[in-house]
Structure formats: C-alpha cells, structure tokens
Structure 1
Amino acid sequence: MGSTVFFTTVTALIMHCFMSLALQQSIETDKYALLALKSHLSFGPDNIFLEKNWTAESSVCGWYGVACDDPRVNRVTGLSISCMGLTGSISSSVGNLSFLHSLDLSWNSFHGNFPEGIALLQRLQHLDLSNNLFSGAIPPSIFVSLSNLQSLRLKNNTFSGNVPMEVADLHSLTVLDLQFNLFSGPIPLGIFNLSSLEILAFTGNKVSGNLPMDICSHLPRLNGLYLWNNEFDGPIPASLGNCSQLEFLILSSNAFSGILPGEIGNLSSLVVLDIGDNQLTGSIPSEIGHLHRLQSLSLGNNWLSGIIPETVGGSLEIQELILNDNRIVGTIPDAICNLRNLSVLHLGMNSLGGYLPPGMGNLKFLRTIDLSRNSFTGKIPASVGTLPYLVNLSLAQNEFEGSIPEFQQIMSLETLDLSQNNLTGGVPQSLEALLYLKWFNVSYNRLSGQIPTGGPFRNFTASSFMSNAGLCGAPQFEVLPCSINHSKRRAHLIMHLFLGIFPASLVTAFLVFLFIRNRKKKIASVQNVESPDIKQKHISYSELQTATNRFGEGNLLALGSYSAIYECCLSDGTYSAVKVFHFKNARAARETFLTECDLLSRIRHRNLIEFIASCPRWDLDIGAIVLEYMPNGSLERWLYSHNYCLDISQRLDIMIDVASALDYLHNNYYFPVVHCDVKPGNVLLDEDMVGHLCDFGIAKLLSVRDGVVRTKTMGTVGYIAPDEIMQVVDCNLLRQDHQIANFEAEMQCVSTIMELALQCTATSPGERMNIQDVVSILKKLRSQIITQNCDRTPKSKRSETLCKSTS
C-alpha cells in the first residue's frame, strides 16, 4: 500500500514537471513566432520603440500590443499593432500563435499576398488587415479552419479576384468588411444565409450580379448593408423590408433598376437610405414617411418620376434630402417645411415648378439649397434671405422673376447662383457685406443699374454678369460705364435729402446708439461672453501650396476620413496647420468642410482650436482651412504611445481644458453647439500642454428655443471594460515613483473621475451631469492632487502656478 502511494506521488510530481516545462515551451513558442514576425518588419523613427520593446530578454506578455488574457493557458491570445506605420510582409510564423483570438494589423503598410499562416489560427475570432497594401486573390483554403471567426475586416487594400465561397462557412461571422478592394464577380449566395451577420460591406469594388429576392429571410440581425460603387444590377428586393434591424442601407452608384419598393417603409430603424446614381424608375413611395429615424434620404441621379409625396414631412429627423437629377414633377410640398433639422436640400435637375413654399424660411438649419434646372416661378421668397446658416444657394435655370432679395443677414453665404432666370431690378449693394461670398452668378437675367464694387465684388469677373443689358459698372465686369449725368443727379438728390433730414438724422442716430448699447449690455449679461469680432485672414490657395511644399508628404501631420492635415509656414513666417478636404466623389467631405468653416469662423475660446482662414477652390473640388498650429500633437498620441507619458496632474489639466471648451459651446455661445465627436484624437496640445478641442465637421448648432435636446451617438464610439479601477487604469500611472499616500490619493482621484464619466454618459439625458458642475469637480480634484504633490517638481506651468498659490 505504501509503495503504491509513493509511486502515485512520484508520478504526479513528474507529470507536473513535464506540464510546467511544456507550458514554458508554449509561451516560448509564441515569443519566437513574434520575433520572427518582427524580423520581417521595417521600423522608422516614429515606431522605433516597438523594435526596442520586443526583445528576447523580456517577457512576451509585457510587449506592446501583445495580450495574454487567459492565465490558464499562459499563451498569447491577442496581437494588436495597428497604426504603427510599419512596413514589410507578414511572416508565416504568425501561424504558430495557436491560441490567438484576435489579430489586428490595420493601418500600416504591410504588403504581399494574404498571409497564409493565418489559416493555422483555429481559435481566431477577430481578424483586421484593413488599410494596408495587401494584394492578390484570397486562397479559399484560408477559411477552412477559421470556423470561429466573428469579424473579418480587409478594407482598403488591393485584394482581387472572386470572394471565396468558403466565406459562407463562417457561421459565427458578424462583420464582413471587404470595402475598397478589387474584388469582382457575384457575392456568394451562402453569405446571405449567415444569420449572425450584422455588417455586410463591399463598397468600392467591382462586385456584380443581382441581390437575392429573399435577401433578408436569413439575416435577422443585419444592421448595415454597404454596397455602393459596384456593378450590381437588377431590382431592389422587396424583402429588404424584413431586415428590421437595418440602420444603414447604401446601394448608390450601381445599376439597380425597377421601382423602389414600398416595403422600405417597414425599416423603422433606418437612419441612412442612399440609392442614388442608379436606374430606378417609378415614383417615390409614400411609405418613406414611416421612417421616423431617417436622417439622410438620397435618391438622386435616377429616373424617378411622379411627385414628392407629402408624407416625406413625417420623417422629422431628416437632415439631408437629395432627389436631384430625376424626372420628378409637381411642386415642393409644404410638408417639407416641417423638417426643422434639414441641412441639405438638393432638388435640382427635375421638372418641378410653381412657387416656392413660404414656409422655407422656417428651415433655420439649412446650409445648402439646390433647386437649379427646374421650372419654378414667381418671386424668390424674402424669407430665403433670412436663413442664418445658409452657405450655398443655387436657383439657376428657372423662371423666377422680380428683384433679388436682400441677403445681408446670411453672413455665411459662400456661393449664390441666380443665373438664367427672369430677374429684374439691380444687384443689391447690401451684398457687399457678404465677406465669405466666393461664387456669384446672375448671368442671363434682365438686371439693370450699377454693379457694386466693394466687398467680395472686388474678386468677381465678367462671367458673373453676362447678358444683362441694363447693367453698368467697372471695366472688369465688361459692361458699359455708368452715366456721368446719372451720377451727378444722384449726388444732387443725395445732397438735398441730406440737408433736409440732417437734424432728424442726428436725433435718430443718437436713439439708435442708445438702443444698440443697451442691447449689447443685455446680451452680455445673458451670454456671459460677447461674440468676438472675427475677421478672416485672406490666404490664397497658391500661397498654401507654397507653404506646404505643394502638400508634400514631408509636411503631412495626419490623415482623416475626408481630409489631410499639413504643417505650413505662411508668407509672414507664421507656423500653421492647413486641413485640406477633397470633395470629388465625396459629398460628405464638402458638407464637413462647410460645417467646420461655418462654426470655427464664429466661435472663440482659449480651449478651442483657433480659426485663421478658409480657402475653398470649388473648381478643383478642394477646400482648405488654416488653423492654429499645435506643436505637441494630439492627446491620443500622448495616451497611447510608449514614447510619451502624462501624469495624473497633466491629465486633469487637459480634462479641465476640454470640459471648459464644452461649457463654452453648450452654455456661453449664442446658440448651443454640440460637438458630437469628442475623443483624444480631437484634442490638440499647444507648447504649454494646454488642450484645444478641434474637428467640428459633424457638430450641430441647436436652437435657443429648444428646452430639451435629444442626443445620439454620432462620432467615434469609445469603450470602457467592466473591470476594477486597478485593472483598467493606464499602466503609466501605476509605474510612477510615488509615495504610498500620494499613490492612494491619485487612485482615489482616478476612481472619482470614472464615476464622473459614468454620470456624464448616462443613458437618459436628464440623468447626465451638467458640464458646469463637471468643470467645478475637476478643478477641485486638481487642486487636491497638486497640493499633495507640490514637494515634487511640477510637470506643467499650471501645476507650478497652483503650487505657488497654495504655499
């Protein structure tokens, strides 16, 4: 009996030793696989820390981008080295990471064919190779063993050939994103049977064929269908109405034909419906009005006929209504004037007629109106000249008559096209006040009188005034000079009027002065700050080209979805940042540019990025915004790069900067402004590490009369894991050489900030904390932390100042 116990004990010890050795060999296998991967990479000065961090002497689980989340197996389960600027190919040794669940290599410059070693990763659930230089066809065998794959992202590469049929065998797949590649042929029908699928995206390929008529029969969870800019044809399946979870339906720039089925109205969750640039016929279904969450409706460049249904007015959330270049008849329904959030109205190139609805003046958030190439009649409503945020107005090629309304209230107006109508009277001299007006055209009308010469008219040419026989003015406009006798009679009349009303004018002017002064005082008391007198600096496009070395890569600071940001040195020696938007084939880029120009030119605060100038070049489909230069880059770089480190005091300073900026936008500007995309990448740091909020491309101006504002997630979605504070806090804070008491105080501060964050992101808007209270709490926390740490050398000027004030 004793010998049996002894033998069992010895056997267990030996097995334990072998298991420990095997476990050690397993993690060593992962290390050597990653070192082999590293050997195929090229490192630049911006990512040299990764080369130094991945060393054979250190623990692999401590390497940057490496996760060993499962303590039971002590293996590498996650690898994320996205956005590192890495180049090279992917070694087949990646297949030795046999416990890998997640692989993210996105936003680098990796090249070569699809890494075949990935086929060995049987536990892989998430694969992201997007935004690289991979090419070639994808071997079907790749997907045979990846049965656990849940998300596959390959967008923005140059993969080619057909989509492998074997993708349809990935029964756990929720995201299939193959956008902007060179795939061709039809989508394998089996993909439409993946019941777990939520995102199906093939945008920007050469994929062809019809959509299955029962497309939504097996896709109950489909949230986004992105198929635009391909070669699809055939009808729009009526069964799309069964995709009850669908929010984004984007099928534009294909060859779909037939009618738009009324079943589309069943998609109660739909936010964006874009089927523009196809060959649709028939009328717009009245069921569109059932889409109460719809924000963008784009059916332009089709062969649609009939009228605009009155029911469109039922989709009160609509911000974009784009029906241009069709065969639509009738008038603009009055119901459109109920769309109080409408920002873009494109109805050009149709057969619409009649008078414009008088209620258009109620659409206070309109930024772009295009009604050109129709048959509208009557006078241009004066209310159009009161839309405060209008940037682009085109009423060209219609039958409008009467005089040009006064537009001097629309200080943001940049393009105004009234050409080819029957307008009479003169060109209002009040248009000289429109300092941002870049494009103006009143050609082919029946206008008369003198052309103004001040303000933006200094830059206009004869092409703006052609075929108006009654116009006169400066030689640059190539019209007859104005009559001298007429000018003398006008001066004589002005003199008599001046002498007759001079005494009354003095009294009136004095009363007006008192009224304006009192009004300014009232505004100041309500708003707490006065709207600054902002004058835009004039910078030409050619000067920007010179200042950025023709937008060379050496001056490139950052790349965005619709824009690129360059460092530039202006002719006066000032360093600035220029944000360049490319409008061609990207309507959203144009709208983002206009939104950002409009808001940045109006607002001023020490914690907002300073606007210097805008420079649109509509003829080149380019727009540029010149901004204050921030030498310390974005907060994102300081938070997520090993080269940089912020202590708790610096982080609190920046939190206060951002909260103060939001307080100004929400409470201290004339109209409340919602930024909609506050994130570390949109917070820039100046030479003193002061935070400045930037990127107002999707910001929203709210009406003062709105008592309750409904908010929705619009920008970049963030994520906080449900763990203890010590498990989610930045390891840079844990590694600080603090005294125990100070360390505990700082961790308590972090805990308070987390509680504050949760209060700010409560589901119900009424439960969220007021931003003014947030600023107050953060300032108290900073004061406590700085006071406790004043014995150490402060890392910022603000910390040093606060230390001195408390000593």
Structure 2
Amino acid sequence: MKPIQNKSPSFISPLCNKRAFLLIFLFIMQNITLSLALRSIDHPGNATDHAALLVIKSQLKVPSNWVLSSWNDSIHHCSWEGVKCERKHKRVTVLDLSSRGLAGTISPFIGNLSFLKIINLYNNSLFGEIPSQLGHLIRLNELRLYNNTLVGEIPANLSRCVNLRVFFLANNKLEGKLPTGLGALSKLIHFRVHMNNLTGPLFDIIQNLTSLVTIAVVENSFTGTIPNSIGRMHNLTLIAAGVNEFSGTLPTSLFNISSLEVLDFMYSQLHGELPADVGVNIPRLTWFNLDGNNFTGLIPITIQNRTALEYIGLGSNNFIGNVPFYFGNFHKLNYLDLGGNFLEGDINLIDTLVNCSQLCDLTLGPNHFSGILPKSVANLSTSLEMLIIPNTLISGKIPEGITNLNNLELLDIYNNKLTGSIPQDFGKLYKLEKLYLESNNLKGKIPNSMANLSYLSELHLENNILEGSIPPNLRNCQSLLYLNLAHNELNGTLDTELFAGSASFIQLRLSYNRLEGSLPLEMSKQSNLQMLRLDNNKFSGVIPDSLSDCSDLQYLNMHGNSFQGNIPSSFASLASLQEIDFSRNNLSGPIPAFFSKFPILYYLNLSYNDFEGSVPTNSVFANASAVFVAGNNRLCGGIKQLHLPKCIEKKSSGKKKRIISHALKLIIPIVGALFGMVAIASGLYLACLKKKKSPLSSGSMMGIVTMKVSYDMLLKATSGFSSENLLGMGSFGSVFKGILDGKLVAVKVLNLQHRSASKSFMAECNTLRNVRHRNLVGVITACSSIDFQRNDFKALVYEFMPNGSLDRWLHGFERNMSLAQMVDVAIDAAHALIYLHHECETPIVHCDLKPSNILLDSDMVAHVGDFGLARFLTQPRHPNQSSTIGIKGTIGYAAPGKNSVIPIYN
C-alpha cells in the first residue's frame, strides 16, 4: 500500500493558506498572553496586589489622564506607571508616584502590598492622615512622604517596620509626639521630619539609634535636652534641629563626632558657653549655625582650625569679647552672621573679609564695634547679596565704591553715625530690593539715580537730615511698596508724577518734614495703600475726596498741618481704617457719623480743629480712651467722659420759650435788670419777712447721705491723690477728682498745717448743713473725721461737676455758651439767691457770688457753691443793728451737686 498523502483541499488557494496561518498564530499568542495574565492574577499574592493598587488609584486625584492611564487590565500591574515588582512571584516591591501632581488620600489598602520595600509619594498634594496599615509592611526599607499636606500623628505601629532605613515625612502638617517605638528602629539611617508641628521629646526617643547618618527636625516644637549619649552616633554627618524648644546646653560629645559636616541648632533656646575645643575634632564641618540662642562667653578660637567652613551663624546670642579676625582665612565662606551680640573691636574686620571671594551674606550688627566704615567694603565679594551692619556705632561716609557690589539685594546700615551724602550713583545697585539707611546723619538730596532700582521694594531713609524735594522719578521704582522719608528736612510739594507711575505703595511715611501745598489727586491711584502718614508738615487745602479710592487704608495720620474744610463724605467707604488722626488742623463741619460704623476703628483723634455739632456716643465714640475731641469749642453731646456741654434742642417749651423774646437785643439788658431787681427785692423782703421754717424746694435735691468713707477709700479713688487728678488748690487745701463706688466725685482735702483750716472746715459744714436746694450745694450730715494714724485727716466729698464753672464758659477756653444757656444760668442763680434770702430758717447772704462760684452739672444746670464768705442773718437787737456769724476761708475748687456731700468716717 502506498502511504496516505495529506493534501489540502483544492478550493483553498496558497494566499488563503498564509492568512489562515497568520490568524492561527495570533489566536495562539493571544491565548498564551491571556493565560499568563489570568495565571498571574489567580496567584493569591498577585491578586491581592492588583486589587490593592486599584483601590489606591481610586482615592487619588490626578492632574491629567496620562499620569495613571496605564493602571488598567490591559497590561499586568507590574508594568503600570510607578510600579515595580520582584521577578519570581511578581509581587509589588516599589511604589514610586513622586512629583506627579497627585491629590487625594493614601488608601489603607497600601498595607496589603506586603512585599513593598520602597514608598515614594513625595512632592504631591496628598492630604489626610498617614494610614496605620503601613505598620504591616515589615519589609519596608524606605518611606518618603515629604512635601505634601498630610495631617494627624505619626502612626505608632510604624515601629513594626523593623527594616526601615529611610524615614522622610518632612514638610507636612503632622502634629503630636513622636511614637516612642521609633527608638527601636535600629537600622534607621536617615530621619527627616522637619517643617511639621511635632511636639514632645526628641532625643530621648532617638538617642539609641546609633546608625543614624542624618537627623533633620528643623521647624517643629520638640522639647527636652540634648543628651551626652548623642556622641555615640559615630556615623552622623548632618544634624539640623533648629527652630525648636529645646533646653540646656550643647554636650561636648557632639563636637567629637568626626564625621559631622552640618551642625544646625539655630533658634532652639539653648544656652551656656561653647566648649573651647569646639573646632578640634570635627575636621569635615562645613555648616555651623547657632543663630538665635542664648549662648554666652567668648567665641572659641579653635573655630579658626575649620577653614573649610562655608556657613557660620553665631548671630543673636550673647557672645562677648573682641571680634575674631581669622574669618578672612575661610576662603570658601558663603555666610557669616556675627550680629546681635556684644562683640567689640574695630569695624576694620571688613578688611580681612575681602579674601572671602564667595561671600554672599555678611551680618556684623548689632554689636559694639567702632571706627569709620572702611573703604574696603567696596572690595568685598561681588557675589555679596546681603550686607547688614546696623547698630554698630560706626561713623564716616558711605564709600562711593560701594556700588561695585552690584549683586546686593539687601543693604542695611541703619542707626549708626554715618555722615555725608548718599552716593549719587546708587542706581548702579540695580538688584537692590531693600535699603535701610535710617537713623544716621546723612545730608544732601535723595539721588535721582535711585529711580533705576526697579527691584526696590523697601526704601527707609527716615531720621536723617536729608533736604530738597522728593524725586518724582521714584515712580519708576515699579516694585516700591514701603517708602519712609519721615523726620528729615525735605521741602517742596508732592509732585503728581510720584503717584502717577508704576510704584504701588503699601506704606507711605512722610511725617515731620517741611512739605507743603495741597495733596495731589493722583494719590488716589495708590489702591494698595494701607498706611499714609503726612503728619507735622505744612500741607494745606482740602482733603481730596478721591483719597477714598484707597480702600485698603488702615492707618491715616494728617496731624499738625493746615488742612481745612470738611472730612469728605466719601470716606464712608474706608471701613478698613483702624487709626485716624486729623488733630491740629483747620478742619470744620460736623464729625462724620460714619466713623461709628467702622468695625475695627480703635483710635480717632480730631482734637484742635473747628468741628461743630453733636458727637456720637456709639461704637468707637463710646470709649473715652479711644476718641479725642479737645479744642473743638463748638462740639456738644458725646459720652460724659468727654466733658462736652449738652446739645441744645432746636425746640424750646415752657419758661424757656417765654423768656426768649422776639427781640434778642433786649435780652441782655433784661437779664442784667433781673439781677438788680432780685437784689432789691431781696433786701425789701427781708425787712418784712417773719422768721419761720419754710419747706424745702423740690427738684433734684437729695436727702442726707450717711455713706461712710475711709482714708484708704479716698486714696484709692484718687489714685493716691495723684497730680493728674488735681483739680485746684486753695488757701486751706486741694481738690482732687476721683471715682468712688463707681461715681465721679470731687474730693476736698484740708491742709491741716494751716491754722485756720479746721475752723473753716467746720464752719463750712455748719453752713452747708442748713441749705437744701436744687441750685445749691447739697446737704451733709457730718464732715469731721479723725484718723489717729494719719493725724486728723479731713476731707469733703462732692459729686463731680463735669462742666466746671461759669467763668470757664464765659472767659476760659470753652467760650461757646449760647444765649439761651446764659439765660438759664441766670435764672438758676436767681432761684438759689431767693432760697438763701427768704426760704432758709436762718437767712443767708452768700457775699461772694461770681462766675467762678457758679458750677454747672452735666445738664448745664447751675449750682451756687463756695460758702466760705457766707453770713447767717439773726434777728437784730436794735432796729439799726444786725448780727451775723461769719464763715471765713474757702477751700479751692468745689463742685457740689445734687447728691450732696458725703461725710468721711474711718
């Protein structure tokens, strides 16, 4: 038999055979791939990793689709973006999604990736807490979560990650104490948790981690001391622990770690003296920063052995002694801060620093240096960006060559004794951002070349002797935010160009100069202005309405100029104002009511202008320590503490309406005639009046007060009889203002060294005990008080009369009493005289009636006081004879009122 031959069907062409073969090949390959994928997912561990990664993805927000676009079932998860697996079982060992712009939270399912060795999620925007499930990852070597916004505490069970070598959680918002279990991570090499809000002890927890190479905990609130055991960390190259709340000193063992390159404990509240051999056993040290502590003593001379130093921060401590001159030997020196100490010596230290060709930042003040600022300052490194020498008592001129330092960004030489002028070519410092030359003795004009400083944001030239006008081309300083030219001798007007350019001031201080003229309308273009101080110049004209466009204004001071007119009504929009001072100008009109609507206004000074009308009583106006209105003689109302007269209503009724006649010109003569008629009538009436007891007048007269007051109470009420509370002095004593039981009172204190004082005291008491009337001083029950410890202390207490005497209103600084008020006072005084002459049991003649003895209460009601010369009239023994009992002596200022005199007891 012949072997059977396989033949293709005759109807299949060769081309079809090729296509069929290709389809079969693709089918087989697809099934192989699918089979492998299914087999990998079917593996228990692989399936767990796959599922965990998908959950992790679900809790992340990605900035664009491509970041995690590969995380799908089309390929194995070991090929996903940021995922790496080990070869044998394809388990996830690395999750690296750093710097992907991710947001969202870290899923607790990350703890299911049990083979994970490296987690890199740094430089993202992750928030929420660190999941405690990370403690399940016993194989974890590296944990990098820094530069996110994670919150909460560091999970305690991270101590289970016994293989952890890298621990980076810096620059988050973590808080609370470090878990004590972290001290068991014996393999830890890098520990970095800086820039968080962590608290509690630090070195007590990590002191046994002798494998540590770097410790970075800057900007937290760690506490505790630095133990001497830190010297056992023989591999330590970096310890950056600044800006914390440690205590104690730096242990000497720290300076025996020969591997140390960076030592930074700035602003950590440490103290004590540095070891003398600080620079002997740390040959690799390049960074040495102890700024902002409380170290004392001398700067160890052994530091000169460390010539490789690049960064030296010893500022803001309490070091003493002569300034070291060996710093010029540090040719790699980049940063040197010796300021804020008590170092002495010559500022010629600068001569040696010329050799530091890489110097970028030099701070030498404040200190107790002396001498002339050397010209060698112009030969410092051209890389210098910051030159700070304030408060060092140096003198001389600013060297012209200082403009060679064309990389300077900050120049600070304030509060010295520099003289001469500012170099005219200052504009060559084109990178300058901040210039502080205030509080020197600089003269001359402000250089026009400063307009070239396009990066300048702060210019401080105050407290010098600069003259001339303000250069209008400063408008070209497009970055200028803070301009302070106060306390100089600048003159001229404010050029409109100064405000028309690109400069956008936040603070503009021109106080205490000789500037004049009106304010330019262009000032309103300073929309970012928060502080404007123009006080004590010669400005005039009206306050521009357009200034209200500066809607961010918080502090406005125009004190001591010649502004006039009203406060613009448009200022109602300046609700951000906190302080306002318009005092000592020529402003007029009413006080704007909208000031009381400013929510954060806490200081308002309108003194010594010509404001008129009523003063509000709400909001800021309710605080007498926040509002000042003295020297405005046409104001009324306000709270009582402002001592302003009561505002008179336009409508009058009753007696007042009848008294004010249609012919005002006749009122003054009528008032004078009224006093004359009262005097004549009183005399005639006395001749026919029979002695009888008359009922007391009604009104605001009070009964006898029996309040007991001790010396100590009066001492406290008058702040120890302080001179600030002294109202006046007389022959027999002094009068003080005080607060007694919450009530404002006037306290007469007798000078018992005067032989007639006690007699006068008792005589006045006897008189006042017999008078009770609303227009007279009130009643007392007893006035004498014996204090054996204080040698018969005697005093009278009256209700305080806030509006003082009539004399002040007629001839004093007030001088703004209306005609209607004058008539009311005359009538009140007339009622008092009628009562004294005709209604007392024993008639009394005052004998000393004058404006200074007529006192006005808070309602401008007049009260007749001071009975030092008054006389009782008895029945005459003979027709042509009268008998009197005289009362001699007056005791200075007396402000009796409706609540009478309060007797003094102990």
Name the TM tier (shorter chain).
0.5 to 0.7
User: 2:358 maps to which residue?
Assistant: 341
Letter of the structure 1 residue corresponding to residue 185 of structure 2? L
Of 232, 237, 248, which aligns to 2:251? 237
User: 1:131 maps to which residue?
Assistant: 147
Once the 2 structures are TM-superposed, how far is the Cα of residue 438 of structure 1 from its aligned partner?
Answer: 4.5
**Structure 1 residues 52 and 386: alpha-carbon distance in aligned structure 2, compared to 1, 3 A threshold:** closer
Whether 1:379 aligns to 2:394 is no
Q: Where does 1:713-724 land on structure 2 (aligned, <5 Å)?
A: none
Greater mean deviation of Cα atoms: 23-32 or 232-241 = 23-32
Whether 1:81 aligns to 2:100 is no
Whole-angstrom distance in 1 between the partners of 2:301 and 2:317: 17
Whole-angstrom distance in 2 between the partners of 1:479 and 1:158: 49
Once the 2 structures are TM-superposed, how far is the Cα of residue 200 of structure 1 from its aligned partner?
Answer: 0.8
What SS is found at the alignment partner of 2:43? helix
User: 1:199 maps to which residue?
Assistant: 214
Whether 1:260 aligns to 2:274 is yes
Once the 2 structures are TM-superposed, how far is the Cα of residue 112 of structure 1 from its aligned partner?
Answer: 4.2
Of 228, 236, 247, which aligns to 2:261? 247
Once the 2 structures are TM-superposed, how far is the Cα of residue 79 of structure 1 from its aligned partner?
Answer: 0.9
Give CA deviations for 1:709-728 in whole Å, capped at 9, x if unaligned. Answer: xxxxxxxxxxxxxxxxxxxx
**Structure 1 residues 442 and 155: alpha-carbon distance in aligned structure 2, compared to 1, 3 A threshold:** closer
Whole-angstrom distance in 2 between the partners of 1:22 and 1:402: 83
Does the 8 A contact of 1:47 with 1:86 survive in 2? no
Whole-angstrom distance in 2 between the partners of 1:62 and 1:223: 38
Whether 1:314 aligns to 2:329 is yes
Once the 2 structures are TM-superposed, how far is the Cα of residue 50 of structure 1 from its aligned partner?
Answer: 4.9
Whole-angstrom distance in 1 between the partners of 2:183 and 2:327: 38
Whole-angstrom distance in 2 between the partners of 1:393 and 1:252: 23
Whether 1:156 aligns to 2:171 is yes
Does the 8 A contact of 2:199 with 2:221 survive in 1? yes
Does the 8 A contact of 1:396 with 1:420 survive in 2? yes
**Structure 1 residues 468 and 205: alpha-carbon distance in aligned structure 2, compared to 1, 3 A threshold:** closer
What SS is found at the alignment partner of 2:207? helix
Give CA deviations for 1:559-608 in whole Å, capped at 9, x if unaligned. Answer: xxxxxxxxxxxxxxxxxxxxxxxxxxxxxxxxxxxxxxxxxxxxxxxxxx
Letter of the structure 1 residue corresponding to residue 215 of structure 2? L
Does the 8 A contact of 2:68 with 2:81 survive in 1? no
Does the 8 A contact of 1:366 with 1:389 survive in 2? yes
Does the 8 A contact of 2:163 with 2:187 survive in 1? yes
What SS is found at the alignment partner of 2:354? helix
Once the 2 structures are TM-superposed, how far is the Cα of residue 295 of structure 1 from its aligned partner?
Answer: 2.1
Of 75, 90, 111, which aligns to 1:58? 75
Of 108, 133, 148, which aligns to 1:117? 133
Does the 8 A contact of 1:354 with 1:377 survive in 2? yes
Letter of the structure 1 residue corresponding to residue 70 of structure 2? N
**Structure 1 residues 452 and 461: alpha-carbon distance in aligned structure 2, compared to 1, 3 A threshold:** farther
Once the 2 structures are TM-superposed, how far is the Cα of residue 42 of structure 1 from its aligned partner?
Answer: 3.9
Whole-angstrom distance in 1 between the partners of 2:482 and 2:146: 49
Flag the structure with higher helix content: 1
Does the 8 A contact of 1:395 with 1:418 survive in 2? yes
Give CA deviations for 1:775-794 in whole Å, capped at 9, x if unaligned. Answer: xxxxxxxxxxxxxxxxxxxx
Identity %: 32
Of 87, 92, 99, which aligns to 1:71? 87
User: 1:30 maps to which residue?
Assistant: 49
Whole-angstrom distance in 2 between the partners of 1:425 and 1:541: 28
Once the 2 structures are TM-superposed, how far is the Cα of residue 284 of structure 1 from its aligned partner?
Answer: 2.1
Once the 2 structures are TM-superposed, how far is the Cα of residue 35 of structure 1 from its aligned partner?
Answer: 2.3
RMSD over aligned Cα atoms: 3.2
Of 99, 114, 118, which aligns to 2:115? 99
**Structure 1 residues 29 and 430: alpha-carbon distance in aligned structure 2, compared to 1, 3 A threshold:** closer
**Structure 1 residues 407 and 371: alpha-carbon distance in aligned structure 2, compared to 1, 3 A threshold:** farther
Once the 2 structures are TM-superposed, how far is the Cα of residue 65 of structure 1 from its aligned partner?
Answer: 0.9
**Structure 1 residues 38 and 404: alpha-carbon distance in aligned structure 2, compared to 1, 3 A threshold:** closer
Whole-angstrom distance in 2 between the partners of 1:425 and 1:113: 61
What SS is found at the alignment partner of 1:122? coil
**Structure 1 residues 173 and 454: alpha-carbon distance in aligned structure 2, compared to 1, 3 A threshold:** same
Whole-angstrom distance in 2 between the partners of 1:99 and 1:365: 51
Once the 2 structures are TM-superposed, how far is the Cα of residue 152 of structure 1 from its aligned partner?
Answer: 1.0
Whole-angstrom distance in 1 between the partners of 2:131 and 2:73: 24
**Structure 1 residues 457 and 401: alpha-carbon distance in aligned structure 2, compared to 1, 3 A threshold:** farther
User: 1:179 maps to which residue?
Assistant: 194
Whole-angstrom distance in 2 between the partners of 1:479 and 1:177: 54
Once the 2 structures are TM-superposed, how far is the Cα of residue 211 of structure 1 from its aligned partner?
Answer: 0.6
Q: Where does 1:321-720 land on structure 2 (aligned, <5 Å)?
A: 321-332=336-347, 333=349, 334-363=351-380, 364-408=382-426, 409-448=428-467, 452-455=471-474, 464-469=484-489, 471-475=490-494
Whole-angstrom distance in 1 between the partners of 2:115 and 2:70: 22
Whole-angstrom distance in 1 between the partners of 2:57 and 2:456: 54
Does the 8 A contact of 1:473 with 1:479 survive in 2? no
Once the 2 structures are TM-superposed, how far is the Cα of residue 208 of structure 1 from its aligned partner?
Answer: 0.2
Structure 1 regions of 5+ residues with no counterpart? 1-16, 483-539, 544-807
Give CA deviations for 1:333-377 in whole Å, capped at 9, x if unaligned. Answer: 132232222122222322222122332221122222121222002
Whole-angstrom distance in 2 between the partners of 1:327 and 1:43: 55
Whole-angstrom distance in 2 between the partners of 1:133 and 1:342: 36
**Structure 1 residues 542 and 340: alpha-carbon distance in aligned structure 2, compared to 1, 3 A threshold:** farther
Whole-angstrom distance in 1 between the partners of 2:122 and 2:462: 51
Structure 2 regions of 5+ residues with no counterpart? 1-35, 496-509, 517-524, 529-906
Which aligned runs of 4 or more in structure 1 are off by greater than 6 angstroms?
20-23, 457-463, 540-543
Q: Where does 1:264-303 land on structure 2 (aligned, <5 Å)?
A: 264-266=278-280, 267-303=282-318
Does the 8 A contact of 2:91 with 2:115 survive in 1? yes
**Structure 1 residues 382 and 151: alpha-carbon distance in aligned structure 2, compared to 1, 3 A threshold:** same
Once the 2 structures are TM-superposed, how far is the Cα of residue 104 of structure 1 from its aligned partner?
Answer: 1.8
TM-score (norm 2): 0.47
Letter of the structure 2 residue corresponding to residue 339 of structure 1? C
What SS is found at the alignment partner of 1:185? strand
Whole-angstrom distance in 1 between the partners of 2:127 and 2:451: 55
Does the 8 A contact of 1:285 with 1:309 survive in 2? no
What SS is found at the alignment partner of 2:319? coil
Give CA deviations for 1:500-538 in whole Å, capped at 9, x if unaligned. Answer: xxxxxxxxxxxxxxxxxxxxxxxxxxxxxxxxxxxxxxx
Does the 8 A contact of 2:312 with 2:335 survive in 1? yes
**Structure 1 residues 312 and 456: alpha-carbon distance in aligned structure 2, compared to 1, 3 A threshold:** farther
Paired residue total: 462
Once the 2 structures are TM-superposed, how far is the Cα of residue 190 of structure 1 from its aligned partner?
Answer: 5.2
Once the 2 structures are TM-superposed, how far is the Cα of residue 212 of structure 1 from its aligned partner?
Answer: 1.0
Once the 2 structures are TM-superposed, how far is the Cα of residue 59 of structure 1 from its aligned partner?
Answer: 0.4
**Structure 1 residues 400 and 188: alpha-carbon distance in aligned structure 2, compared to 1, 3 A threshold:** closer
Of 193, 197, 218, which aligns to 2:232? 218
Whole-angstrom distance in 1 between the partners of 2:421 and 2:303: 37
Letter of the structure 1 residue corresponding to residue 81 of structure 2? Y
**Structure 1 residues 461 and 479: alpha-carbon distance in aligned structure 2, compared to 1, 3 A threshold:** farther
**Structure 1 residues 412 and 43: alpha-carbon distance in aligned structure 2, compared to 1, 3 A threshold:** closer
Letter of the structure 2 residue corresponding to residue 83 of structure 1? S
**Structure 1 residues 438 and 71: alpha-carbon distance in aligned structure 2, compared to 1, 3 A threshold:** closer
TM-score (norm 1): 0.53
What SS is found at the alignment partner of 1:200? strand
Letter of the structure 2 residue corresponding to residue 135 of structure 1? V
Of 180, 193, 197, which aligns to 1:165? 180
**Structure 1 residues 178 and 467: alpha-carbon distance in aligned structure 2, compared to 1, 3 A threshold:** closer
Letter of the structure 2 residue corresponding to residue 261 of structure 1? P
What SS is found at the alignment partner of 1:148? coil
Give CA deviations for 1:289-334 in whole Å, capped at 9, x if unaligned. Answer: 3332322222222222223211111222122222222222222313
